[in-house]
Structure 1
Amino acid sequence: MRTKLFRARPVAVLATAAALAAGLCTPAAATEQQQTVARHGAGYLARAITAGGGNLSADVTSTAYAVLGLHAAGVGRQAAQDGVAYLSTQLGEPLKGADGQDDPGRVAYVVLAAVAGKQNPRRFGGENLVDRLLATQRADGLFGSAAPTYDGAFRQGLALTALKAAKVPSTDARIAAATTWLTGQQCANGLWQAYRADTAVPCAPADPATFSGPDTNSTGMAVQGLAAYGKLPGAKKVLAALNAARSADGGFAFVAAPGQASDPNSTALAIQAIVAAGGQPGNAYAALASFQLGCTDPAADRGAFFYPGSRAVNLLATVQAVPAAAGKAFPLAPSTPSAAVPEVPCAVSAQLAGTPGPCAGTSGVTVTVDFAAFGGAQETRCAPGAQASGVAALQNAGFTPTGTTRWGLAFVCRINALPTPAQDPCVNTPPATAYWAYYHANAGATAWTYSTQGASTYVPPLGSIEAWAFGNGATPTLTPTQVRTS
């Protein structure tokens, strides 16, 4: 099976009635929250690659995109390596289009994945993929021999991101021709539609009824390709036009017109365009996260993304959502993901019996919770032995955390029933002004370090202290030194 990772004419969905709540200048969602969404999505992809024997659905483009998601989220090292190894064996017929010629999109995805995996795309599986991609270029600068009717701008932007990843310089005449072709396709409002046969004719207005005019998918990849080479004209206009096309929840639909319900694919590509153009996606991250399968879904599906109309795993939505949830535009820099394969933490089994006071030496993980915001004291308990995560340590020390309805224990909303349901219903993520802040202090540390990872994925070392304090970035009353002697 071959899959082209774009959608030319999606099924229309009903528009929501709520008014637009936030614009592109809205501060982005907390980095820890969006990264948790990305890591859980990547965890699903890593398990799917492993279950598939090193690939995703025996499909080159899906596997390559999944590898990019693993590198963007920074997890799933073995699956990422297995995926790249699989891609190195699929460089013949799987990279061809219906016309028997190299498909620039498929070649580009493999180049991007190879570079992210620290492989040389000019000597990948015995092939020079960079030369093959460049060889698809037409005299007018467009890559690919197939008709560009439904994917011209998308595949051109994608090819440019891959060539940038492969370090083809902007001084190369072929890059100049490619960027000229793509900038010539830009609509007057700064966005792109799939293809303009005659660029002297203005783009049609965005029309959800006919799926005509500028769309978020073409725009998303076109912006990434041009921005990669520093050739994006009118970035402020692009951001303003995308802002005007937002859905009520802050996400995006396929056609770049307001008043529609968002979908994960379009929201993901729009986020990447905004990041590439130097903007702030704002509540688009939360809109994207709303399509992630969680604790109410089958355990095997958790972390994946669904498309409106069904809560079944949608592979295309998942591979496109993960890099965007991580806040990454293409191309990705070479990296080595961690070995972790995160899971959505819906329950922790077989809790150990915690004891009052700090742990002795490296016998366990000390957990301290400051209830000062609720008129209480700071309580310290020991979670004996090694702990699988910060959430497990909290529970095994003897505290009772409660997660959100939407995300389960991926977001700790209450500890020992505080705050009360009246103070926070704990449906979605806690507000930025009133949440349980999470800190670490390794053995010997005298100051708290704010966690850059969620408690569901962080693994505390033996002899360390886990600390929680409630408020607007509140810090524990007691220092690590005081906790050790309490």
Structure 2
Amino acid sequence: MTVRRSAAALATTAVLLGAAAPVAVAAPSPSPSAELPAGLYGTTDPTYDGVWRQSLAFLAQKIEYVTPSTQAVEWLADQQCDSGAFTSYRADASKPCDASTVMDTNATAVAVQALVEINQRREDANNGADWLKSVQNEDGGWGYNPGSPSDANSTSIVIGALARTGVPVNELTTADGSTPYTALQSLAIPCGDEDGGAFAYQPGKKGELTANPDATAASVLGLMGKGIASGTSNAVKDPSCTKGDDLSPEQTAQNGSFFLADTLKKSPYLEQAPMPGAEDTEPQPDYGNTADAVVALAASGHTDKAEASVAWLQKNATGWAKQGGPAATAQLILAAHATGADARSFGGVDLVKQLNTMGPSPAATALPSPTPTGPQPSSGTDSDDSGLSLGWLIGIGLLAGTGIGFLLSMRRKKQQP
């Protein structure tokens, strides 16, 4: 999960862990100090995830036959700058973006995907895609902000946005011949090495690659040219790790699936480092990353390898989703959709109804017909062609003490496990 989502989930994790993992200082208040816009999903401070959570809500609603309200769609569209870019959140959308506005490739990419999937404001989506193409790095990838070093998560979500708007991603070649796909492949750990098949978020200071499950799940989708709202693909043989220096994007994606399947075979959930100040120093379950891994495995044709993880999420993650708000609830809906589980009865919880109550009343709702008992294509979402967990943040006490400056620096780089 990116830092944007991590900030929103800090209080949630503290609540869920409770006495088992007390933190050094009180968690941030879930309520923002200023009144929130009427069209926005969620009740927490949207400064770092407003566009993100709104867009994920739309993606999850669309695959469950829910049409977002006009008010909610207009709120998202109004967040866009004239250049086509989105920021994480603009409190005053009437004020034009300028040189001081911090553009966000991740927010732009997820908003583009959302607008395409709900089939509204397509011109705005195309403008967003054009802006993303204009800020591609020379290595073929994208960073969190324009000009920042490329990372696996940003590159993958941008690929998904461009693919959903009909851009031939493999033709986005830089002067040295790099493409978005080669940028991702450069972050893959070779098969035969420790953690072979996994992806790093970014290279280390000496060029070393450290396995990152969240970056791996994102890269699997990116290399397959798929967006966040991905359904299941036709079953393929068990994932394997293919060695070689001239692998196709599909082969490199399957290597990532091999790593995820092997990791989840040992435990049905992924882990995150303990919160700073916690008495329990053991790793904790990572609900969001587990959901992302489920989507990646299903999208790459390995739904069977995700079954135990889906069952674990149904049993353990519904409380996390309710506390985490629209983005967390949407993640579980996307995982359910990808694997053919029923999001309206997921661990006994109607996630779709829960999400709908977190924002403006939908314009329309409809139950799927027939009720899905297996993978089902959704209206407006290409299930075959069409994703993200809580990395620990350094010190909630530091967060309170250093405020916005700390978060602005942290949101530029995902923590390595």
TM-score, normalised relative to structure 2: 0.47
Higher strand residue share: 1
Larger Rg: 1
Higher helix residue share: 2
TM-score, normalised relative to structure 1: 0.41
Kindly indicate whether structure 1 or structure 2 has the higher relative contact order, using CA contacts under 8 Å at least 6 residues apart. Answer: 2
